[in-house]
Chains A and B, each alone.
Chain A
C-alpha cells in the first residue's frame, strides 16, 4: 500500500507534471509543424540524416516541449496569474498536509536554498552522465584498435561529454552562487525569487533535449559544433544546438538575478570591500554570464537555422564564411571558462583563511583580480583560432592579451601563499581540497603559456596537450573547489557532519587518479596525439600512456562514488554538527544549521572585515538576537577545537 501511495503521489511532483505537459506540448509542436509543411507539399518522412525534414520539426517541437515543461512544472504560475489580473502567491513555501517534505526539491520553489540544492543535485546527475560517457570513450582509447564502440558513437560521445560537462559546471556554479550569496550578504532571498526558480527549471528540459541527441543519430562535431561539419552532421546536432540555446536563458537570467542581489541586497554596513571574497567571484562570473552568453546562443542558432531553413550563413560556396562562426563561438566560449573558475577561485580564497586562522592576504587585490580576469577574458578569444584561417598577424596581439591574464591569476597564487604563511593551519577535508585545487590550478595555469605562445601553440593546438591543460585547469579551478565547498558547507546545509575519513579518502584517490591522468595526456599530446581521434597508430608509442590514463580516469571516477555514498549516508545518519564547526567568521555560520526558511529574521549589522582572524576582539557581523544560536554541550565534531562562544562585539576593526 505504501508503495502504491508513493507512486500515486509522484503525479503531484512538479517535475512529473512538467514532463507530461512538455511531452504534450512538444507533440503538438511537432504535429503543427508537420501540418504546415504538408500544406506546402513538403516531405515529412523520418530520417536522422543531415538534410532530414525533421531539422525544422525538431526545432519547433523542442521549443514547445520546453515551454510546456516550464508551464507544467509551475514555474510561471504567478506570472500567468498576474497577466490575467489575478493575485499570485505570496512566494513563500507553505507545507501541505500529506505531501512529504522532499517533494519540495522536485517542485517549483522560490527559496534560494532549495533552488541551490536543486542546481547542485541536477549538476551532480549531469556530471555523472558526462563522466560515464568519458569513461566509455576513454576505455576505447586504452589500446589501439576499435574494440568497444565504433567511430560514430565515439565522435558523438566526445561532443556530448563536452556539452554535458559544460552544463554540469554551470549548474555547479549556480548551486554555489544561489545557496551561498544571499546567506553571505545577509539577505533573506534573491532579488527575483520567482525568476530564480524559473531559471533553474529551464535546465531540466534543456538537459533532456541534449540527451535525446543520442537516439536522434548523435553528432560527430565535438562540443564546438564548427560548421560546415555541424551543418552536415546527423539530426542529433539539431537537438544539441537547440538545447544549448535554451540553456543560455538560464545563464542570462541567473546572472542578472545575482548581480541585482549583490548590488541591492547587502546587509547594512557591508561595503563592496567588506563582502566575502566568494561574492566577488560570483559577481565577476555573473557579469560574464549576463553579457557573453548571447554569443553562443547566436552562433548555435545560426547553425540550426542553416540546417533547418538552408540560410547559408556559413556556406562559403554561397557567400558564407566558416571563420565567422569561430569568432562568434569563442567570444562566449572563452569567457565561459572564467565563468567556471572564478567562483572556484573565490571558494579557495574563502576557505583558506578559515583553516589558516589568518586574514586573507591582499583582499582588495584578490577581489579586483577577479574583475580584471573577467574583463580581460573578453579580449583573448582568438587564441583558440591560432591555426584557423584567421590572418596570422592577428595571432600576436591575441597572444599578448592572453599572457596578460597570467598577471591577475599570479596575484591570487602569491596571495594564497602569503595567507598560509605564519598561519596556524588546520587540516580537514575542505582544506585538503583547497590544497589540491591550488596545485592543480597552478599546473593548469602554467601549461597555459605553451599553448598561448603562438609558436609552440601551433604544435599543441588540437592535440591532447590542450585537452590535458583545460581538464587540469577546470579540475583545479572548479571541480576540486566545488567538492571542497560541498564538504565545507555540508554541515551548514544539512546540520550534520560528513565522514572525515571518507572525505579524505575521496580527496586522496581523486587527486592521485586525476594527476596521473592529466600528466599522461600532456605526454601524449606533446608526442603528437591529436584530439578527438577514435583510434591511433600503435607505432607512435601512445598505447602505454593511454592505458595508464584510462585506469587513472576510472580511479578518479570511483572516488566520486565515495563522495556520493559519504554524503547520502551522512544526510541521514551523520552526527549533528554545531552551527559553526569551522569557527568561521562568515555571516552564514552565525545562524542555525540548516538555516531558517528566511535566513535572517532581522537584518544583520556588518561592523568589521570578513577575515580578521587573529585580531583579538574584532567582530565581522552582529546578527539579530533571535537568530543567534547556542549549541548545547560541546560540539560533537572535534576537528576544529571550538571556542566557547562569540567574542563580545568591539568597536571598529
Chain B
C-alpha cells in the first residue's frame, strides 16, 4: 500500500477540499442590496440568508467528504486491482517515483488557490444584476447550486490533473514507460453511474423549480406586449382605467383604437410591486426576446404566435426591457422602461395615463418614446433618421431634390409609407414599413401634435394650433405648449438608466 502513496493522496484531497470550501464560502457571501438605484427596495430578510448560508456550506462539506472519499477509493481500488490482475513482476523495492511529494504539495497549493481566486473573482463577486422578482430568487438559488458544483468539480479535477502532471513527470534521463494499466471495469462503471445520478437529481429538482416560475398565480394582471423593430408597446386592460360608463364617454376614435389594439397604450411597462404580471407577447415583424435582466427569465416575442411570460416584481425601481434576439439594425437599443412601483404611484400613473388620452401632445410624446426614439432625436442631434426638432412648418429637401413643406399630410405619409419620400442624406428601407398597421390615425395625429410642440414655426400650420390648444386646455396652461422643456424631459427619460 505504501507504494501507492495513499497518505499523500489523502493529503492532496484534503488540500483541495479546503480550497474548494473556501471557494464555495466565497460564492455565498450575500451581496449588498443596491439601495441607491432602488430607494424603495424592501430590505431582504437577513436571518433567512444566514440560515440558508449555513445549510449550504454544511451540505457542501458533506458532499465534498463523500466525493473525496469516493475518488480516494476509486484510485486506491484501481491500483490494487490492477496489481493483482496484470500479473506483472511486482517489486516492492522499486517504489513509484514519489520523490517530488513535498514539491508537489508546494506546487498544488498555489495552483488550486489560483483557480479558487479566479473563480471567486469572476464568478462569485457581484455575480448578477439586482434581484428584483420572485423568479430571480428561484433562478439565483439554482445558480448558487450550479456555481458551487462547478467550483468543486473544477477544483478537484484540475487539482488532480496538476498533481498528476507534477508527480508523474519523467526524469530527464528516464526513457522508461509508465505502469501498464488498461483500465478497470467496475471503476469505469462507477464513474458512469455517479454523474448520471447527480445530473438526474439536478434535472428533476430544476424541473420542479421551473413549474414554480411558469405556473399561473393568483391575482394576475394580463398585459399585452407588442415587439417591433425596434421598440416595445404595452397595452393594459381597459378595466384598469375606465368603468364601462367612463369608457362610453370617450372620443369615438379613441374607443375604436383601444378596442382594436386590445388595451390602453403605454410606452412603459408599469408594474405593481408584488403583483404577478402575465405578459401576452406578440411581434409584428421579426423575432424579438423580452428580457429584463433584473427579473432573470426571458421569452421570445414571435410573429404569429402568442407567447406568455410571468414576472412577480418584488423590488421597486426603474429597469429596462432589452431585446435579446438579434432583430436587425438597431437591435442593441431596443429598450423600454420597466417601472416597479407601490400602490400610490401605480394609482397616480393610472390617473396620468387617463388624462393623457385627452392631451394629444402628451400622448404623442408617449408614442414617440415607444416607437420612434431609437432612430429620431428631439434635440437636433443626428441619428439613424432625421431629428424632430423644428420640423413642422419648415421646408425640407428630399433625396430626389424636391422641396416639401412639412405639414400633417407629409407626416402621415412618412409614417405610413416611409419609402415614398426620403429626406436628403438618409437611406430608404431602414424605417419599418408596417406602421400603417400598428399606428392608427388618431395616434399619427398625436405624434404630429408632439412634433408641433417641438417646432418654433408651429403657428404656420393650422392643425398644430388646434392641437396645441387642445393640449393646453387639458393641462390648463395654454402658454407653454411650444417651449423647449419637452425635449429636455424626453431626454431625461431616455437616459434614465435602470441598473444598479
Name which residue of chain A comes closest to B304, CB basis: A316
* B interface list, Cβ under 8 A from A: 75, 78-79, 96-97, 118, 122-123, 127-129, 138-139, 142-143, 146-147, 149-150, 153-154, 157-158, 160-161, 164-165, 168-170, 173-184, 188, 191-192, 195-196, 199-200, 202-203, 206-207, 209-210, 213-214, 285-287, 289, 291, 293-294, 296-300, 302-305, 307, 322-333, 429, 497, 499
Residues of A within 8 A of B174 (CB): 424, 641
**Given A427-B169, A449-B199: A614 touches B177 (CB 8 Å cut-off):** yes
Nearest-Cβ distance from residue B293 to partner chain A, whole angstroms: 3
Name which residue of chain B comes closest to A362, CB basis: B183
Residues of B within 8 A of A641 (CB): 173-175
Residues of A within 8 A of B188 (CB): 362, 365, 411, 414-415
**Given A361-B183, A407-B195, A453-B146: A439 touches B328 (CB 8 Å cut-off):** no
Residue in B165, B181, B192, B195 whose CB lies within 8 Å of A425? B165
Name which residue of chain B comes closest to A458, CB basis: B297
Residues of B within 8 A of A226 (CB): 286-287, 325-326
Nearest-Cβ distance from residue A54 to partner chain B, whole angstroms: 15
B199 touches A418 (CB 8 A): no
Residue in A151, A422, A427, A438 whose CB lies within 8 Å of B329? A151
- CA A532 to CA B324, docked complex, whole Å: 9
A435, CB-defined interface residue at 8 Å: yes
B128 touches A229 (CB 8 A): no
Nearest-Cβ distance from residue B190 to partner chain A, whole angstroms: 9
- CA A632 to CA B188, docked complex, whole Å: 44
Interface stretch of the complex, out of A107-115, A396-404, A574-582, A599-607: A396-404
Nearest-Cβ distance from residue B159 to partner chain A, whole angstroms: 11
A456 touches B139 (CB 8 A): yes
Nearest-Cβ distance from residue B203 to partner chain A, whole angstroms: 5
Residues of B within 8 A of A519 (CB): 118, 122
Residues of B within 8 A of A388 (CB): 300, 302
Interface stretch of the complex, out of A37-45, A194-202, A277-285, A317-325: A317-325
Complex A-B, nearest 10 residue pairs according to Cβ-Cβ distance, in ascending order: A316-B304, A528-B293, A358-B178, A423-B178, A533-B332, A539-B497, A614-B177, A614-B180, A641-B175, A362-B183
Interface stretch of the complex, out of A300-308, A459-467, A475-483: A459-467
Interface contacts beyond A359-B182, A387-B299, A450-B147: sample of 10 additional A-B pairs, CB < 8 Å, sorted by A: A232-B328, A320-B304, A358-B180, A362-B182, A414-B188, A454-B207, A459-B297, A462-B298, A526-B123, A536-B332
A630, CB-defined interface residue at 8 Å: no
Nearest-Cβ distance from residue A630 to partner chain B, whole angstroms: 19
- CA A463 to CA B323, docked complex, whole Å: 11
Interface size class of A (residues with CB under 8 A): 35 or more
Residues of A within 8 A of B286 (CB): 226, 228-229, 232
Residues of B within 8 A of A462 (CB): 289, 291, 298, 324-325
Interface core residue of B79, B157, B307, B499 (most chain A CB under 10 Å): B157
A356 touches B331 (CB 8 A): no
- CA A443 to CA B499, docked complex, whole Å: 29
**Given A522-B122, A532-B331: A442 touches B178 (CB 8 Å cut-off):** no
A222, CB-defined interface residue at 8 Å: yes
- CA A535 to CA B335, docked complex, whole Å: 13
A596, CB-defined interface residue at 8 Å: no
Residues of B within 8 A of A535 (CB): 332-333
**Given A400-B200, A425-B169, A427-B169: A323 touches B305 (CB 8 Å cut-off):** yes
B202 touches A461 (CB 8 A): no
- CA A568 to CA B243, docked complex, whole Å: 80
Residue in A322, A361, A534, A539 whose CB lies within 8 Å of B332? A534
- Provide the A540-559 mask, 1 if CB < 8 A to any CB of B, else 0: 11000000000000000000
Residue in A152, A220, A359, A362 whose CB lies within 8 Å of B326? A220
**Given A427-B169, A523-B122: A359 touches B181 (CB 8 Å cut-off):** yes
A455, CB-defined interface residue at 8 Å: yes
**Given A359-B180, A526-B127: A459 touches B302 (CB 8 Å cut-off):** no
Nearest-Cβ distance from residue B390 to partner chain A, whole angstroms: 26
Residues of A within 8 A of B207 (CB): 396, 399-400, 454
Nearest-Cβ distance from residue B362 to partner chain A, whole angstroms: 26
Interface core residue of A420, A522, A612 (most chain B CB under 10 Å): A420
Nearest-Cβ distance from residue B84 to partner chain A, whole angstroms: 16
A435 touches B214 (CB 8 A): no
A363, CB-defined interface residue at 8 Å: yes
B178 touches A455 (CB 8 A): no
A504, CB-defined interface residue at 8 Å: no
Residues of A within 8 A of B128 (CB): 459, 526-527
A317 touches B203 (CB 8 A): no
B181 touches A422 (CB 8 A): yes
Residues of A within 8 A of B157 (CB): 413, 417, 442
A274, CB-defined interface residue at 8 Å: no
Interface core residue of B123, B161, B203, B324 (most chain A CB under 10 Å): B203
A316 touches B285 (CB 8 A): no
Interface core residue of A359, A455, A526 (most chain B CB under 10 Å): A455
A104, CB-defined interface residue at 8 Å: no
* CB proximity to B under 8 Å, residues A368-427: 387-389, 392, 395-396, 399-400, 403-404, 406-407, 410-411, 413-415, 417-418, 420-427
A407 touches B192 (CB 8 A): yes
Residues of B within 8 A of A426 (CB): 169-170
Nearest-Cβ distance from residue A508 to partner chain B, whole angstroms: 15
Name which residue of chain B comes closest to A540, CB basis: B499
- CA A229 to CA B334, docked complex, whole Å: 15
* CB proximity to B under 8 Å, residues A333-366: 356-359, 361-365
